[in-house]
Amino acid sequence: MYYSYPCSYCSKIFYTFNDSREDAAKKLFFGIKEHLVSYGEDPKEHRFDDYPEIDINMIYASLSESIVRPVGAYEL
């Protein structure tokens, strides 16, 4: 299953292919966090500043899932 979630700062959509929704949420959290840091957006964005468990659960609850790869999204 493909799972996707938008960057909370720039709105780019990131996705991962995974059998587990929980593992997908973890991968998306750490991938988006890395994206925010690498582009210097992390200090400007405060949505992912809680404890990782809280933020991962937030992503888990809002994940989009699809059987086809999201068009125009960035793979993690």
Query: Structure pTM?
Result: 0.85
6, 65 contact by CB (below 8 A):
no
pLDDT at res. 25: 96
Reported as a pLDDT band with limits 50, 70 and 90, residue 3 is: very high
Helix (H) or strand (E) holding 3: strand 2-6
Has residue 11 got a pLDDT over 70?
yes
33, 40 contact by CB (below 8 A):
no
Reported as a single tens digit per residue, the pLDDT across 24-68 is: 999 999 998 888 888 776 556 656 666 788 888 888 999 999 999
Range of the domain at 33: 2-75
pLDDT at res. 33: 85
Q: How far apart are CA 35 and CA 70, in angstroms?
A: 18
Total domain count, the chain: 1
| CA gyration radius, the chain | 12
